[in-house]
Amino acid sequence: RNLACNTILVLLSTLFGMLTINQFLIYISNNNNQKQDFPRNLLHYLDPIARWSYPDYKNLVTNSKSLFIVGDSIAEGAGDLFLKNSYKYSIGHFLDEKWRKNINIYLAANVGSNIPIQLHILEKHLKGYSKNLTGLPIKSDNLNLVLYFYEGNDLENTLISKKLPFDSFTSKLRFKLPIFYTVRRATSVAKNKILSKFPKRKKVSLSSNKILHNNVCIGDICRKIPPMQTASAELSEKEIINEINYFEDSVKKFSTKYPKANMCLVYIPSPATIYSPSQDFYYQKYLPNKKKIYLKTDSKSNNKKSLLIRRLLRDRFNLEFMTFVDPTKTIQKEAFDRFIHGKRDPNHFNEHGYKLIA
């Protein structure tokens, strides 16, 4: 009898403790504002959509327009500025600096290139399902969105996964119980730290990203850059067309649900398209089912695919409710004179790059 009572007490105490921690996580998910010096290293333990409230460009100007920034880690602001704890590290910060007086800017972007998924998550937010993690939904008849399409891996990621989050019962619990994400993340971090203490025999392979690098030079300044993100080097022309069709369908479905929304699609070229190395270069691999020992391509092939993707997007997205913007030539011109990607994070823009996009 004592054992049974003690077991019940332990279980109830554990449950109460978990619920208390869960409520605390919900609280900080809504109060993790950058302005309050919230520690960045703790962001990784919060559900990714809880990071929407972190950037300090929610001005809450009454009777003003609302602008949502939608996209992946580039839209979110990953890169050297974020790693260096710069207060202004993203496109949104530089837009806010320019438009602070009459536009409220909101983040609807996370690591992982997949705009259809981001639009689905935004729709959940606008309907009020995610308020535990993202704050109260924005009530506005004048809904404006900037969608940042990234040439580097958007199409690959939609090909890999078209599963939309929050549709299953278990994923819906994510809104109510963010503790599961935190525990899973903490367990992964602890596991990696423990394993790092044990020496392991390293296998040298030609396909290992650690020994592959590209020499990229601008004037007299050269950098060794790991395998570069490209204009879908792994995809065939047919696969590119199929994924753009899927992307177009997702955007149009969102627009029918929010007919008053104004959208702008901004094209972000990959480093391979921006710098166009003169020699063959190693590219970053995404698709697990396509095996290649030498992950190499050349600028001619890359630029051909880049032009194809941009042409298809221009044809599909110059619509009444959407404007297509392609700043590729402007970005390439700027990259003739300086690097616009970071040293520590070569896949994301540095301060000059983010200001240029803004």
According to the model, what pLDDT value does residue 241 have?
A: 96
What confidence score (pLDDT) does residue 161 get? 86
Token representation of residue 178:
């963010």
Rounded to an integer, the average pLDDT of 132-137 is 86
Residue type, 148: Y
- Residues paired with 105 in a beta bridge: 67
35-39, 82-86, 202-206: range with highest mean pLDDT? 82-86
pLDDT single digits (tens) 277-286 = 988 999 999 8
Query: In 10 A of CB 321, how many CB atoms?
Result: 16
Other C-beta atoms closer than 10 Å to the C-beta of 193 total: 9
Q: Per the structure block, which two tokens stand in for 176? A: 């109510």
In whole angstroms, what is the distance from residue 273 CA to residue 119 CA? 26
The pLDDT of residue 61 is 67
Task: Output the DSSP codes for 46-114.
Answer: S-GGGGGG-SS-----TT-EEEEEEESHHHHT-SHHHHTT-S--SHHHHHHHHHTTTEEEEEEE-SS--
* pLDDT-derived band at 209, boundaries 50, 70, 90: very low
d(CA 76, CA 237): 29
CA distances from 159 to 228, 243, 303 (A): 19, 7, 21
The residue ranking higher by pLDDT, 57 or 320, is 57
Task: Give pLDDT tens digits for 169-180.
Answer: 777 788 899 999
C-beta of residue 314 within 8 angstroms of C-beta of residue 326: yes
Paired with 146 in beta bridges are 69, 264
pLDDT band at residue 198 using 50, 70 and 90 as cut-offs? confident
Task: Collapse the DSSP code of 341 into the 3-class scheme (helix H, G, I; strand E, B; otherwise coil) and give the result.
Answer: strand
List C-alpha distances in Å: 331 to 311, 318, 353. 17, 21, 8
Does residue 207 register a pLDDT over 60?
no
Are 222 and 277 in contact by the 8 Å Cβ rule? The answer is no
pLDDT band at 62 (very low <50, low <70, confident <90, very high): low
